Every structure is written in C-alpha cells, then in structure tokens.
Amino acid sequence: MNETGDLSNMRKSYEKGLISDEFKSFSPFFIFKKWFEEAKEDAAILEPNAMILSTINNKQQPKSRVVLLKKFDLNGYTFFTNYNSDKGKSILSNNNVCLNFYWASLEKQIIIKGKASRISENESNDYFNSRPLGSQIGAIVSNQSEIIESRDILEKKFDELNNYYSKVRPKKPTNWGGYIVKPNLFEFWQGRKNRLHDRLEFKLDGNIWNSNRLSP
C-alpha cells in the first residue's frame, strides 16, 4: 500500500459569507453566539458544539483533541473531563489553552485563546447528575488516558457497575468535572473567494476588547 499522497490539487472556493467592517463594533461573545446558532440550524453539522482543545504539557509538547462544549456565557466556555487525563494534567501545568470550532458547511472557523480553570464542585455535580446513566458509569469506569490491557476489561467493569447502579444513584467521581476557559483572544474566520479570507481578531486589553481585521 502506498503511504504517500499528493494533495496539491485538492481545493475548493469559499463563497458562503463575509465579515463586514460592522462586525468590529460587536462583542466577540455576541458574534460567537450568532455563528453558533447558525451552526445549530445547519443540518450538515451533526455536533456544532464539538471543538478542538489544544494544550501544552510540562514537557512543552502540544496536543489537540476534540471535546464537547457544554455551556457558554460571558464568563467563558465550559467542558467536562477526567482531571487525571492528559488534558487535565496539561492544564494543571500550563492553563493557557486554545479552542477551535470549524463548521465546514458554513465555511466558518472560530479560534478562542484563554486560561482554563476548574469550575465549582456544585456545578460539576449538577452537570454529572443530568447525564444519562451510561455516561455517568463511563466516567466512573474510565481512568482516562491510562493504558489498558484490552477493551474487554473496560466493558466487563462497565457491565458490573451498570448492574449495581440500576439500584443506586451514582455519585460524581472526585477526579471528574468541568473546566471553564476564560477568553483573552477571539479570531473569527470566514472563507472567501481566491483565498482572500476574512479574519477578525478581538484581543482583551484590561476590560476592553480591541478588534482588528487581519490579512488572510
């Protein structure tokens, strides 16, 4: 099997939208919500809240993975995970993170940089208790990012706990909960013809969001 590929001719023309100069006067939180609502309404986007979370570990090595956004407001962007996972350990050593939303059918991308911190135990408990039973058990069973001998071990443990928790309500593991990313930078990208894409950046300076159009 040939393990190489020439992708030089793979390209498309982006023609579905624009970012007018009017956007520079808007709040970045307003633009995010506006675009997110568009993504929710687009049947081609199965999980509009899927985002790429990038972190840097204590060896200065980057890692990116897809996680699900579960809440957003003026305070920040919240997701949930195992605190002992690779992402949790990386955030503990360096809480500067980057979020990326890419909605291909809309030809839109949003980059958010900020600092991640744990939300309160009460908030994490409330969300954990709202999850389906299977998802709750999955959080208990999985020592996320740890090596396992086989999937059979994982599924056997799940089946045992599924039987047990059919009678008892599960409690949130102490090593599981939410993080909120408090933004200090937004970049909104809209694909345009001839690779002359629109890019609008918002940087936080004190309590003021300064906006600038960037060259593509």
Residues carrying an active site annotation: 195
Read off the amino acid at residue 103: W
For 79, counting Cβ atoms within 10 Å of its Cβ (0-12 exposed, 13-18 middle, 19+ buried), the class is buried
The distance of Cα 103 from the centroid of its chain, to the nearest Å, equals: 13
Find the helix or strand (DSSP H, E) in which 72 lies.
strand 71-73
Which structure tokens are listed for 150? 């086989």
Which residue's structure tokens are 């744990």? 118
| Nearest C-alpha neighbor of 111 from the set 7, 21, 20, 197 | 197
* Cβ atoms 181, 173 nearer than 8 A: no
For 88, counting Cβ atoms within 10 Å of its Cβ (0-12 exposed, 13-18 middle, 19+ buried), the class is buried
How many CB atoms are located within 10 Å of the residue 97 CB?
A: 20
Contacts of 3 (CB under 8 A, 6+ apart): none
SS3 content of the chain, % helix, strand, coil (to 5): 30, 35, 35
